[in-house]
Amino acid sequence: ERKRFYQNVSISQGEGGFEINLDHRKLKTPQAKLFTVPSEALAIAVATEWDSQKDTIKFYTMHLTTLCNTALDNPTQRSKMQLIRAAVKFLETDTVCYRVEEPPALAELQKNEWDPIVAWAEERYNVAIGSSTSILGPNIPASTKDTFVSHLASYNMWALQGIEYIITQLKSLILSMGVIDRHITVEKAVLLSRLEEEYQIQRWGNVEWAHDYDLCELRARAAAGTLFVHLCSESSTVKHKLLQD
């Protein structure tokens, strides 16, 4: 955290896109690049993050700013295809594909809650996914991976950074695509990603300060990632009046 050093936040349009102004300073990335985003809507969302900071700047709460920094600086220097393949690789360890046999109550819960989202993905993308109780996980066909590679290739580099971020939070490509396609809500996706933990909480009780914090944090990150993907996938212009309101 650092002390807030600015009074006003505004956005302006530059040659490379929309910029964020903290008083009369232009926001820069950690690698000192000009912080420029592709859509006005995303610029307003980032500006709102900076404007909502109080006496101190809590960078760990500014998920959209972090995602933009990652997209601009690309610290790992990965290509578009490397990003796509990293995302698709999550299918091999996808949360909703790994099932337990014991205890029976949890096995039944997984079947009831996870089978519908797997069935949706199989129909939506015309692929075979399945599930497994083996520690090795399901045997995902190469054709399924190819289909997801082709689908993700339709997104731009910025959106792909957001997609990978959501997948990392939910530990699931299937749940992430369900959220991005607006098939399920962020709250539902988070609940499904934490199914075993929620089962244990129901059985053994909740440690409020720990479980509640983790749940809220996961929702915040998944929601920010989803918003980021949508704002980077759509070219939208928003009236400047929104920022003033």
Q: List, as one string, the DSSP characters of the chain.
A: -EE---S-EEEEE-SSSEEEEETTEEPB-TTS-B-EES-HHHHHHHHHHHHT--SEE-GGG-HHHHHHHHHHH-TT---HHHHHHHHHHGGGG-GGGB---SSHHHHHHHHHHHHHHHHHHHHHHT-----BSSTT-----HHHHHHHHHHHTTS-HHHHHHHHHHHHHHT-HHHHHHHHTTSS-HHHHHHHHTHHHHHHHHHH---IIIIIHHHHHHHHHHHHHHHHHHHHHS-----THHHH-
Same-domain status, 42 and 84: no
Same-domain status, 191 and 85: yes
CATH number of the domain encompassing residue 138: 1.10.3580.10
**Reported confidence tier of residue 200, pLDDT bands at 50, 70, 90:** confident
Q: Number of structural domains, the chain?
A: 2
Q: Can you tell me the mean pLDDT for 205-214?
A: 67
Same-domain status, 187 and 108: yes
Same-domain status, 135 and 153: yes
Structural domain ending residue among the three candidates 40, 73, 106: 73
**Reported confidence tier of residue 237, pLDDT bands at 50, 70, 90:** very low
pLDDT of residue 209: 55
| Tens-place pLDDT, residues 171-185 | 999 999 999 999 999
Percent of the chain with pLDDT strictly greater than 90: 79
Same-domain status, 42 and 119: no
Same-domain status, 169 and 210: yes
Count of all residues that appear for the chain in the document: 245
Report the candidate in 180, 218, 178 with the shortest Cα–Cα distance to residue 198. 218
More reliable by pLDDT, 1 or 86 = 86
| Tens-place pLDDT, residues 64-96 | 999 999 999 999 999 999 999 999 999 989 999
pLDDT of residue 238: 43
Same-domain status, 60 and 94: no
pLDDT of residue 205: 64
CATH number of the domain encompassing residue 45: 3.30.2180.10
Structural domain ending residue among the three candidates 22, 41, 73: 73
Q: Is 238 domain-assigned?
A: no
pLDDT of residue 212: 76
Q: Which domain holds residue 223?
A: 80-233
Is pTM beyond 0.75? Reply is yes
Structural domain ending residue among the three candidates 18, 41, 73: 73
| Tens-place pLDDT, residues 131-165 | 988 887 788 999 999 999 999 999 999 999 999 99
pLDDT of residue 206: 63
Q: Is 147 domain-assigned?
A: yes
pLDDT above 70: residue 241: no
Same-domain status, 84 and 156: yes
| Tens-place pLDDT, residues 19-57 | 999 999 999 999 999 999 999 999 999 999 999 999 999
Q: How many CB atoms are closer than 10 A to CB 82?
A: 12
Same-domain status, 38 and 127: no
Same-domain status, 46 and 95: no
Min mean pLDDT across 2-6, 142-146, 164-168, 238-242 is at: 238-242
Same-domain status, 90 and 57: no
